[in-house]
Structure 1
């Protein structure tokens, strides 16, 4: 809520009239600060989340067995920053692209070893391309219950193409699907945030490569993606303080 919304709520609910400045000071004294919201889906099913927690937390799994897979989209808007600096009282302005232009889909797999496998294609990824990605990823995996033997992914339609489970299990590996609308349970989202931060940092190089050719863009994209180290990957799996995800002893809890 904004200060004005809090002011209105106090007046209508408690009959108390104070200024917005007073509300701001009271919030600061109580250690309340403005921050970007962490959003969770209303469509998410808590029972399915609990079932997933029970499955992964049954003592069979450890963090080193998991490999997390997902896709992300990249286009000319991706390198754009949303925060800048300017002289007090003036706007922070920058000329940037408003049209996304050509888009790319990046498919990645991450474990405690870092980026296990990565591929990118122009446009949107489809089931056929995803199956090829999984086949190549499986070449780097081990049979259950060794390290890197369990694939974890969401319920996107291209992740559930015909034969995908048989493909995984034929290699002696396991496949787990996350509950619907639960991106916070996939640590690869943290890795994608890191990758896109690097893309913004190298904005001019990335945009120039996009304009030059697919090959030039792929060169710089691979360099950025594989800059995610095992230490960074471990940080992604630990999660923030209020969301413990996949620890060394397997799934811990969700707060």
Structure 2
């Protein structure tokens, strides 16, 4: 399933233009950035039981304040992450870019992010370009082009399995979740999204 908007001629053209642009970038220079929300009420979505028996579980009624995680990945690994209580806004995103992302970028890096409004605030492009990197926006309705979507899926799966119920435990679990990400995972996610990588 995908968003119906992907089928419009305008979006099809923008998706094609994205690939025309991105294929000129060396794969080792691609850095995908995105954010995700988690909370202290996350729990497993599935359970097992003996044949003929029902699986039972419980989950908290209140989920508390959301925690936002902003992160970036490249073929060499996680480029930088930051988590904080509350939703992402332009101030939080600017802080992430200036204090976390930019110090970890390199000349020739190409940062790819979606068209979320906080990603387009003044100063973001300039901060990225200040270290010799550049910025490309994903085409609209194109999460299937972003390997970091698979990254968040694995992180959230791990967090659900931990069933943390305090913010301190959630913070520790986020660190542990990131430690489960391997270079092979990232390699596979790039391939899954259509970035053809020749085997070593």
Alpha-carbon distance change, 185 to 125 in structure 1, aligned in 2, over 3 angstroms: same
Aligned counterpart, 1:134: 97
Alpha-carbon distance change, 73 to 171 in structure 1, aligned in 2, over 3 angstroms: same
TM-score, with length taken from structure 1: 0.71
Distance in 2 between the 1:81 and 1:162 partners? 40
For the Cα contact (< 8 Å) 1:153–1:178, is it kept in 2?
A: yes
Distance in 2 between the 1:47 and 1:171 partners? 31
For the Cα contact (< 8 Å) 1:115–1:229, is it kept in 2?
A: no
Distance in 2 between the 1:139 and 1:248 partners? 27
Distance in 1 between the 2:111 and 2:97 partners? 10
Q: Rg: which structure is higher?
A: 1
- Residue 101 of structure 1 and its aligned partner are, at CA, apart by 1.9
For the Cα contact (< 8 Å) 1:106–1:121, is it kept in 2?
A: yes
- Structure 1, unaligned stretches of length 5 or more? 1-38, 250-255
Aligned counterpart, 2:13: 47
Number of aligned residue pairs: 193
SS of the equivalent of 1:121 reads strand
- Residue 216 of structure 1 and its aligned partner are, at CA, apart by 4.2
1:84 and 2:47 correspond: yes
- Residue 177 of structure 1 and its aligned partner are, at CA, apart by 0.2
Q: Deviation digits for residues 51-75 of structure 1, max 9, x if unmatched?
A: 1011112xx2121110100000001
SS of the equivalent of 1:217 reads helix
- What is the RMSD of the two structures over their aligned residues, measured on CA atoms? 1.7
Aligned counterpart, 2:117: 157
- Residue 81 of structure 1 and its aligned partner are, at CA, apart by 1.8
Q: Deviation digits for residues 192-227 of structure 1, max 9, x if unmatched?
A: 111112112222xx22xx2xxx44432331122233
- Structure 2, unaligned stretches of length 5 or more? none
